[in-house]
Amino acid sequence: MLSLSIMADESKSLREKIAESISSPLVELFDKKGITLDYLSDKLKEELDASIPKLFQSDGKVVESREIPVYDIRQRARQDAHKLRGDYPVERKQISIDGAVPVIPLSDEEQIELEATKEMLRKRIKTK
């Protein structure tokens, strides 16, 4: 569970606070192997600008060459970028079972908001 201490620093965005509070062995391994955020950002940028050379021939000779955008790669890269930035709402899947109450897990942001609300209510109760 994330601590409420990450709510204290108002100068950082909520996304930055959450990212800093999560430590993953997988992320550490990737970093050691050179698969850093900078490296991945560079690769994403390359994919956003993906193109292939198109050669134009006449009488068997190349007369012109142009870079042609590869739109399917660009679109997938753009979608990845939006997901990584958090621009899309969190995808939720709901499964229903007869007689059961569905449980929908909270996102990290919702969990932080819930913890902050609980802490605020505890303080109000203590002051009364």
DSSP states of 18-86: HHHH---HHHHHHHHTT--HHHHHHHHHHHHT-EEEEEEEETTEEEEEEEEE-HHHHHHHHHHHHHHHT
Residue 101's pLDDT is: 67
Query: Does the predicted TM-score (pTM) go above 0.75?
Result: no
Residue 89: pLDDT over 50: yes
Q: What is the pLDDT of residues 43-87, one digit of tens each?
A: 999 999 999 999 999 999 999 999 999 999 999 999 999 988 888
Q: What confidence category does residue 105 fall into, taking pLDDT thresholds of 50, 70 and 90?
A: confident
Give the chain's mean pLDDT: 81
Residue 21's pLDDT is: 62
Question: Of 32, 75, 21, 24, which Cα lies nearest the Cα of 50?
Answer: 75
Tell me the average pLDDT across 31-39: 89
Conformational region of residue 55, where left means phi above 0, alpha means psi within -120 to 50, and beta covers everything else = beta
